[in-house]
Structure 1
C-alpha cells in the first residue's frame, strides 16, 4: 500500500510515518519501490504502526517502544521480563506524578496569592531586564 493509504489506515500522518522509518520504528526492506519509485508498504508495517499507537496509549515513549520491539524480535521478551518492564514504567509514572504535584502546588500558590502582590512569574520576567 502507498503511504497515503497507510496514513489513513494507521491514523498517523505521512510525515510521522517517514519519521518512524528514519528512527527505526518501521523497518523496511530495501526494494519496496514500485516501477514509479513509490514505496509499497507491506501489511506488516500497518500492524507495526498500530502497535506503536497502542504503546503510546500505554505511555511508552518512542525510544521505549523501539526497545521493546527489539527485545520481542530477538525473542528475549518473555512474559516475566515484560512485566518487569511495565513495573519500571509504572514507577517512572509515579515519580512524574509526584513531581507534577509539586509543580501544581507552586502554581496554585501563585493563583491564591493576594492580588496586590507581584506575581512570582512577573518577578522572574522583570529580573531578565537587568
Structure 2
C-alpha cells in the first residue's frame, strides 16, 4: 500500500509515516518501480504504526518505543520485562499526577488571593 493508504488506515498523517520511517520505527518501504518515487508499505508497517500509536497513548515516548519495538512485536521480551516497563511508566505517571496536584493547589491558592484582593506586596 502507498503512503496515503497506510496513513489513512492507521489514522495518522503522511508526515507521521515519513517521520516514523526516518526514526527507524518502520522498515524502509520498498520502491518496486524505479521509474517513480512511490513506496510500497507492507501490512507489517501498518501493524507497527498501530503498536506505536497504542504505546504513545499509554504514555511511552518515541525513544522508549524505538528501544523495544522489535523485541515487543516479536515477543522477544519476556512477560516479566513487559510488566516491568509498564510498571515503570505507571510510576512516572503517578509522579506527574502528584506534581500536577500540587500545582493545582498552588494555582487555586493564587486565584483565591487574586479574587479576595489580597496581594503579596509588603
Q: TM-score range by the shorter chain?
A: 0.7 to 0.9
**Deviation of residue 13 (structure 1)?**
0.3
Where does the alignment leave 5 or more consecutive residues of structure 1 unmatched? 124-130
Deviation string 1:11-66 (CA, Å, 9 cap, x unpaired) is 0101111111111111225xx11322211111110010011111122221111111
Looking at structure 1, the residues matched to 111 and 43 of structure 2 have their Cα atoms a distance apart, in angstroms, of 52
Q: Give TM-score, length-normalised by structure 1.
A: 0.80
Looking at structure 2, the residues matched to 99 and 37 of structure 1 have their Cα atoms a distance apart, in angstroms, of 48
Looking at structure 2, the residues matched to 61 and 17 of structure 1 have their Cα atoms a distance apart, in angstroms, of 16
Match of 1:34 among 17, 32, 35: 32
Looking at structure 1, the residues matched to 18 and 84 of structure 2 have their Cα atoms a distance apart, in angstroms, of 31
Q: Which moved more, 1:103-112 or 1:44-53?
A: 103-112
- Are residues 1:80 and 2:73 paired? no
- Are residues 1:65 and 2:62 paired? no
Where does the alignment leave 5 or more consecutive residues of structure 2 unmatched? none
- Runs of 4+ in structure 1 deviating by more than 6 angstroms, as ranges, are none
Q: Give TM-score, length-normalised by structure 2.
A: 0.84
Looking at structure 1, the residues matched to 106 and 71 of structure 2 have their Cα atoms a distance apart, in angstroms, of 41
**Deviation of residue 73 (structure 1)?**
6.2
| Alignment RMSD | 2.1
Looking at structure 1, the residues matched to 4 and 50 of structure 2 have their Cα atoms a distance apart, in angstroms, of 15
